[in-house]
Amino acid sequence: MANLITFQIFYRYIGLIALVLTISGLAFVLWRVAKYRHISGPWPCRISHHYVAMFELVRQRPQAIARWHRKYGPFVLIAPGEVSISDVTAMRDLYSSSKRNPKSDYFDRFIYHGERSIFAEKPYEEHKAKRGLSSAFYQATSIYKPEIQQPLRQKALGVRETLERHSKMEPIIDVFPVINHYAWDNITALVYGPRHCSHAVQGDYTDRDILARLKNTEMWNSLKFNLPFAHDILEKAVSVYTGSSKFLSAERDLDVWAMQRLAYSLSDPKSSSDWSLIRLIQDLRLAGRDISDDYVACEVIDNLHAAQATVTVALTYVVYHLSRNPDWQAKVRAEIEALPREDDGLPVWQLLDKAPILEACIRESYRINPVSSGRAERILAKGTRYGDVYIPPYTVASASTIALHLDPSVFPEPLEFNPRRWLDVEPEGLLRLERSFIPFGYGARLCLGKAFATLQVKMLVSAVLLTFETALDDPSRIMEQWGTQDALPKGFNCKLRFRKRKDVS
């Protein structure tokens, strides 16, 4: 009898605890809902993060958020405690260095070798310290030096030779992998130096295999980070079914490849004479900086991942839009042809970089097709009021690049490729456009690779257009993007028809 009474008391306590926890949970949910009741958004987003996560799983998160902005306005609640912004003033305030808002836990996804790269560092001060180590290396004044520019020019000519050779056999070429090989060879040369870089453009199978599989791996990362157990089951099931461990293993294979090249580069005494990230790290260590091997590995992997993907997407869409708009392609070609050239036949960089029509076309391409997901989340250090909207402290906030770039009040007929909007505009109007234009981010954490990306894009476009006229294989195709981290084009292809110009030997 005593035991029975004891059990009854025990179960009553368990029931009471369960009731208290349930009431507390409901109270917390209601408090969180009430805290953000003044911010518009889809009602499922008020009670759970699963609704926006569903769109991430189908690789449409940025696109869905942009649609919500069109419906609900410049401030949208996308999950409890998470707000998306498409107001220019609020965006610039969110990312300004004076606010010092740290990055969110989203950037935990980019930890490599137990370390955080500059990109993944969350607190402002830690990011500033790491950025100070290498920011000068990535500035335009460094990137545009002959030591970096000349090897890149040769790679652009190598791509042109590849296209010329293939177009003799088949005029229709998928340029997406070709551009990816070019971007990969460029970033590995910048990281390791020319002695230990990749040779994907020249046909190296290992390089090309890893790059192709990285794209497939990225497509499944939304599952990996939202339902990791399902991702693991899928990977093992496919491995058993196919008898191959390659499925979703590209990131691990990249790590092995990158660490081997890193070891070769660090142990090669000749590397100290090459202009590269590895040389910079060696110089910093010689100057007494305490830089761990794991941090070096982390930065190397981050650079390889980000640079090859960003430049590939950026360049693919630039050539896509120029091929889809032959009038603008002709204008860009005429502008490039009028520029003085170096001995290699390509334009003098300082003049090519200032070519206004080319610049306008590139901007318009970046505007319509962003070069990343735009998920630059920050945690508000302080509550902030923007007009009638108050965003509480510790809110996870981010700007919607798509919503900003396709705002019809700033960019009339936003889906139309119209470089003229960047050319025929007064200084005040141009400033208004530029305030809403954030392809590489904004503020203190602006993408370090912007100058290097610009060099690659403009140099390859000039190399191609001086030799070929290009057109879409399917003129009706609209090349949409996935909502992945790197905003990859659907289908992983961009098929163009190449015709060598009659006046080119």
Residue with tokens 């456009």, as numbered in its chain: 433
Give the CA-trace dihedral at 253, 184, 175, 479, to 10 degrees. Answer: 80
The rounded distance, in Å, linking the Cα atoms of 312 and 172 is 19
Is 464:457 a contact under the CB 8 Å cutoff?
no
Strand partners, 481: 489
Q: How many CB atoms lie within 10 A of CB 360?
A: 21
The rounded distance, in Å, linking the Cα atoms of 192 and 197 is 6
The rounded distance, in Å, linking the Cα atoms of 383 and 395 is 8
The rounded distance, in Å, linking the Cα atoms of 450 and 440 is 7
Using a 10 angstrom Cβ sphere, with 0-12 exposed, 13-18 middle and 19 or more buried, the burial of residue 220 is middle
The rounded distance, in Å, linking the Cα atoms of 235 and 248 is 7
The rounded distance, in Å, linking the Cα atoms of 16 and 35 is 28
Is 284:133 a contact under the CB 8 Å cutoff?
yes
Proportion of the chain in helix, strand, coil states, percent, rounded to 5: 60, 10, 30
The DSSP output letter for 500 is: E
Residue with tokens 């955080």, as numbered in its chain: 116
Residue with tokens 């403009």, as numbered in its chain: 458
Q: Phi/psi class of residue 100: alpha, beta or left (left: φ > 0; alpha: ψ in -120 to 50)?
A: left
Per the annotation, does 447 bind a ligand? Answer: yes
Q: What is the DSSP string of 234-250?
A: HHHHHHHHHT-S-TT-H
The rounded distance, in Å, linking the Cα atoms of 87 and 78 is 15
Any idea what the Cα angle at residue 335 is, between residues 334 and 339, rounded to 5°? Answer: 110
Is 108:99 a contact under the CB 8 Å cutoff?
no
Instruction: Specify binding-site residues.
Output: 447
Binding residues for heme: 447
